[in-house]
Amino acid sequence: MSDEVVWITGGGTGIGRSIALAYARRGASVAVSGRRADKLAEVVDAIEAAGGQGLAVPCDVTDEQQIRAAVATVVAAFGRLDVALANAGFSVSGPIERLSAADWRRQLEVNVVGAAVTASAALPELRETKGRLGLVGSVASFVATPGSGAYTTSKFAVRAIALTLAQEVAGSGVSVTGIYPGFVESDIARVDNSGVFHEDREDRRPAKLMWKTEDAARVCVKAMDARKREFVFTGHGKLGAFLGQHFPGLVHFVITRFGKKQTQPYMDGDRA
């Protein structure tokens, strides 16, 4: 991949950071975008230490001009774009009756509009290289849980965007991969409903089900290499997606009858 160029939004931490390093180890030039310039700088240092060329492109995915400017910056620096990954996102949590209109707008602007505009901005360049576009959703793209209504809505929408784009670019040489992780180590649990990061905030997601970001990055890159249309991963993630698609009544029954205790911490606004 020594001649390939990769651009990743939400590339400063979590899966985005690990995917950036996975591509760098293969010799790719990797640009990372996000709001936290200090984190982007750290990733660029790690990319270069891994043998790749790195570029930090600060960008807020709620600002269309910044997204399109980021693509232009990447192409100006490296001459092309072969892989774009719309990975930026966060979680608004809490029961729907407690969420404000501002909560909903913030959630959808980042996770949905941000992903769609990222794809729109990258596609002209990807058409030139017959490249690969990835959009990161979640197992929540297939199954809802209490306290995660806004987040689940956004991830259902990301899946719709990915499926629609795959149809729209068919025959162009560009592939679109919807990526749907289960629980993976990240900072998402430490970001509040306003998008503010808190270093000391507890991550209440189940530790025993958590994948390391390096393992997640490996399978995500492999899925995009193979130009898969949809890729669900972690064992519990595959099970959840399967049940959500084929047995929604069973999922509803189990959660409403037996899951109240387990989901209560998330319903109180701590879900990531």
Distance CA 72, CA 206 (A): 40
Please give the average per-residue pLDDT across 152-177, as a whole number: 98
pLDDT at 199 > cutoff 80? no
Residue identified by tokens 């259902």 is 156
Length of the chain: 272
Q: Region 9-22: what's the mean pLDDT? A: 96
13: left (phi over 0), alpha (psi -120 to 50) or beta: beta
Find where tokens 């109180």 sit.
268
> For residue 222, what are the contacts with CB-CB under 8 A and spacing of at least 6?
none
CB 110 within 8 A of CB 61: yes
In degrees and rounded to multiples of 5, residue 120 shows phi and psi of -60, -40
pLDDT at position 39 is 95
- The pLDDT confidence band at residue 262, using thresholds 50, 70 and 90, is very low
Mean pLDDT of the 49-65 span:
95
CA distance 229 to 82: 17
Domains in the chain: boundaries: 5-270
Q: Which of 63, 153, 163 has the alpha carbon at shortest distance from 108?
A: 153
Is 234:15 a contact under the CB 8 Å cutoff?
no
151 catalytic? Reply is: yes
pLDDT at 10 over 60: yes
pLDDT tens for each residue of 33-48 = 999 999 999 999 999 9
**Encoding tokens for residue 93?**
């949590």
The structure tokens listed for 188 are 């998402």
58, 37 Cβ separation under 8 angstroms: yes
3-class DSSP assignment, residue 60: coil
Mean pLDDT of 45-57: 94
User: How much of the chain exceeds pLDDT 70, in percent?
Assistant: 86
Q: Using CA atoms, how far apart are residues 89 and 42, in angstroms rounded to an integer?
A: 20
CATH 3.30.460.80 fits 5-270, yes or no: no
Helices (H) and strands (E) in the chain, counts: 10, 7
Residue closest to 151 by CA, chosen among 90, 242, 88, 230: 90
- Rounded CA-CA distance 232/242 in Å is 10
72-93 mean pLDDT? 97
Q: Which of 23, 151, 180, 266 is catalytic?
A: 151
Residue pair 229/178 in contact (Cβ under 8 Å)? The answer is: yes
CA distances from 99 to 137, 193, 261, 268, 269 (A): 21, 10, 21, 12, 10
pLDDT number for residue 51: 84
pLDDT exceeds 80 at position 109: yes
DSSP string over 186-234: -SGGGB-TTS-B-TT----S-GGGPBPHHHHHHHHHHHHHTT-SEEEES
